[in-house]
Structure 1
Amino acid sequence: MGLVAQLYSISIRSYPAVLRLVAPFHAKARRWLTGQQGLLDTIAHTLNHAVDTRPIVWFHAASLGEFEQGRPVMEAFRDAYPHYRILLTFFSPSGYEVRKDYAGADYVFYLPIDTPDNARRFVQLVKPRLVFFIKYEFWANYLHELHRANIPVLSFSAIFRPNQLFFKPYGGFYRQLLRQFNHLLVQNQESVDLLKSVDITNVTLAGDTRFDRVAQTVATVRTIPVAEAFKNGQPLLVVGSAWPLDMDVLVPFLNQFAQPLKVIVAPHEIDADTIADWQKRLIHSSVRYSDVDPTDLSVLADKRVLFIDNVGMLSSLYQYGEFAFIGGAFREGLHNILEAATFGMPIFFGPIYDKFQEAVDLVAEGGAFPVRTVDELQLAFARQYADRSKAAQITRLYVQRNIGATARVMDVATKILSDRHDAEQ
């Protein structure tokens, strides 16, 4: 075993120990550790006692964002191949806890940690006919076991950058992981070129399945009477997935903005104390969604800011907006901007967005606007407030012309299943 492989194994085995140290102070770490307890035995019991004996395909998503990215493919696969069961795994509690009851999968589990023994037992238990890894998933032992068992593996909505280890002179271990995939479906031409530079050619430029997902969202958007009454025909800014660092810029901006503007804030994490602090810092009147009586919406008339203290509503809230600010790009990682873009509006976010292709594209085209300070937000927002029509058209058309990745993923999956069926006859 090479040095890098040894370091990989050490880091994988050390991960639970590290989380046990922080678990007393970190709820997410506690949930992950609890989820891993007896996990393989639970999977074995569930599958061994299943009455349904249809073959299984396995989808793996790191977290909730990757799940939403993969959901159109899962649903398309279900429609095309109803004679298969779908098994879905998550690495992160933020994905598993929200989607553990997802009706589009027959089974939903945490992913057992990637040790050789776990990977071997998991593959033997599940016996997947086909595996889909969504975006950034490169688990060495799972890939090795799947390759050894001659089980085809696809990666879709993947994106690669020159600074990744795959493309470094010392990145041989990581390049070998890429060679375990039967096919890589990537988001952009740069990824195709980078993979070709290291002699990986089983690649398709398929695009990003998130565009298909947001198109589905628009088709199934639901009416939210509280939001409609709150807007009351006025210009509306929807703040999606706000973190404290985002609000450190937004609060002083809102306190100084003098034009008519309603604001809906959907925090990334629902924490009553944090929301209360934001309310205190705002000079404008505000209300929490949970405090609104749906039978008496008159309380909303004089409110400037509405805080959403629940989950699952954000994608439908964008339909009421003329502008969007998407959180996470000051440190944590930019959240989904496509849900806002599909409704056609200028989009604002923090300065750290270069790893998100859609953000890079929309900034270049003039539909999105990164800001670092309150002053920069004031300037950028004032310009769009005066005339948002151009940016709104740019964002809407950007989504429309990028729809179709799911069909390209399914074309590759269908060919692999067909070839495998022919080889077994």
Structure 2
Amino acid sequence: MFILRILYNLFIIILIPFAVPIGFLIALRKKEDADYFQRFGFITFPEPPAKTVWFHCASVGEVRSLKQLINAFRRRYPDAEFMISTTTATGKAIAEKELKPYFAFLLPIENPIAISYILYCMNVKATVIIDTELWPNFISSTSKHAPLFLVNARISDRSLGGYMKIRRVISPLLHKFEHIFTKSEEDTARFAALKGSSEGISTLGNIKFSEFDGEPDLSVIKPLNDRPFIAAASTHKSEEEAAVKAFRKSGFAGRLIIAPRHLNRTDECLALLKSSGLRACTLTEFNPDCDAVVVNVFGQLEALYRTADRIFIGGSIANVGGHNIFEALRFGRHVAVGPNMQNFREIYELAIKYNLVTTVKGEEELAAFFAAPEPEGSFGDFRAEVQASADERLSKFLEAIKVALAD
């Protein structure tokens, strides 16, 4: 293990001279260069508070999943501050805008010197990693300074085999956590198998499924509201083809809106729509005469879910495990998905219970969903169960960090 760590850090040192300029050019092109060098530890911190809890999130989805937890944290520990690090510039921007932390910054990835400085400089009493961000140097450095927690931890069906192959590397990292809170009983069993012990691992449930308050900004998609529309969101290649065929077969009197999972596929989606005989355009070059629109602007899914007449969420016909349906369910909307929802099994099964989801196998069943009136579900009962479960989950976590903040 010691030799592996030396080799790992040697690889990082060799990589840095190439990564810095290439990464900067990419950030410059995306107009995300303002805080770029924070990624390498060049961070100017504000005056440190008496005690801080450090939350680390990968990107936007993880940041937004923290809303309820942060609100509960503020109520429970009013004398403590929190800061947030992210691995993406968009995640940092959303954290600053929506969560109002004491400080937000880009994580100096695998820079143990910078991480140690942050821990001491900001009086960090506990560190919380959201989802499964297993950076070895980050975990080792933070665990030496204060209790380290993993929240919303999960291991997908697809990644389990790979993790098991490097179990000798993963197991020592998992032992450094004070506690691991998983999304499901299945995830608890998987983490126990990787760690070699179930001690310090418990099922908390998914903290992403708890925030019902707040309305999205509808200004960007406002032009679409001149006609009814179907939203096919977070789609992959085969799903866009299915959505187009289903839209045409359904006879839906409105538009088809495609929001691909990866925006770099905008031109591909546009070509597909045009080749199918639809008048197509992008959202940024919207034309009222268009029958179909490709969303080429980041962060518009909730706005689409709020106003669409029918909703299909991708990653579920294409077998990638499904994408987050709660973002639509929180507005009381009924959604269609494919049969592959293993990444969001908990919320999917709850949505089935309250008739808020329709499972389709392909274009024929999707066309039927588009053509029929939106089914009525028991949204009030769904919301009540989710919120009751969320309160219990948050209480467990807040109690776990009590000792760290008492110092």
Is residue 411 of structure 1 aligned with residue 401 of structure 2?
A: no
Give yes or no for contact 2:86–2:107 (8 Å, CA) kept in 1.
yes
Distance 1:357 1:93, change over 3 A: farther
Alpha-carbon distance in 2 for matches of 1:53, 1:403 = 32
Gaps of 5+ in 2: none
Distance 1:30 1:270, change over 3 A: closer
Question: TM-score w.r.t. structure 1 length?
Answer: 0.75
Alpha-carbon distance in 2 for matches of 1:103, 1:204 = 27
Give yes or no for contact 1:5–1:173 (8 Å, CA) kept in 2.
no
Is residue 230 of structure 1 aligned with residue 223 of structure 2?
A: no
Give yes or no for contact 2:310–2:335 (8 Å, CA) kept in 1.
yes
Is residue 208 of structure 1 aligned with residue 206 of structure 2?
A: yes
Alpha-carbon distance in 1 for matches of 2:368, 2:77 = 51
Give yes or no for contact 1:75–1:104 (8 Å, CA) kept in 2.
no
Read off the aligned partner of 2:139 and give its amino acid letter.
L
Q: Tell me what 2:345 maps to.
A: 357
- 1:79-90 → structure 2 map (5 Å cutoff): 79-90=75-86
Gaps of 5+ in 1: 293-298
Q: Residue 108 of structure 2 aligns to a residue in which SS?
A: coil
- Report deviation, 1:97: 5.1
Alpha-carbon distance in 2 for matches of 1:90, 1:212 = 21
Alpha-carbon distance in 1 for matches of 2:28, 2:260 = 17
Q: Tell me what 2:311 maps to.
A: 324
Q: Tell me what 1:37 maps to.
A: 37
Is residue 381 of structure 1 aligned with residue 381 of structure 2?
A: no
Residue from 297, 311, 314 that aligns with 2:301: 314
Q: Tell me what 1:179 maps to.
A: 175
Residue from 142, 146, 151 that aligns with 2:142: 146
Read off the aligned partner of 1:315 and give its amino acid letter.
E
Is residue 258 of structure 1 aligned with residue 251 of structure 2?
A: yes
Work out the percentage of aligned pairs sharing the same amino acid: 17
Q: Residue 206 of structure 2 aligns to a residue in which SS?
A: coil
Q: Residue 131 of structure 1 aligns to a residue in which SS?
A: strand
Is residue 105 of structure 1 aligned with residue 68 of structure 2?
A: no
Question: TM-score w.r.t. structure 2 length?
Answer: 0.78
Distance 1:165 1:91, change over 3 A: farther
- Report deviation, 1:360: 6.4
Give yes or no for contact 2:319–2:340 (8 Å, CA) kept in 1.
yes
Q: Tell me what 1:296 maps to.
A: none
Alpha-carbon distance in 1 for matches of 2:124, 2:297 = 36
- Report deviation, 1:304: 3.6
Across the two proteins, how many residue pairs are aligned to each other?
Answer: 397
Is residue 156 of structure 1 aligned with residue 156 of structure 2?
A: no
Is residue 46 of structure 1 aligned with residue 45 of structure 2?
A: yes
Is residue 56 of structure 1 aligned with residue 60 of structure 2?
A: no
- Report deviation, 1:189: 1.0
Read off the aligned partner of 1:369 and give its amino acid letter.
T
Distance 1:209 1:56, change over 3 A: same
Give yes or no for contact 2:125–2:405 (8 Å, CA) kept in 1.
no
RMSD of Structure 2 on Structure 1 (CA):
4.1
Q: Residue 128 of structure 2 aligns to a residue in which SS?
A: strand
Distance 1:126 1:30, change over 3 A: farther
Q: Residue 5 of structure 2 aligns to a residue in which SS?
A: helix
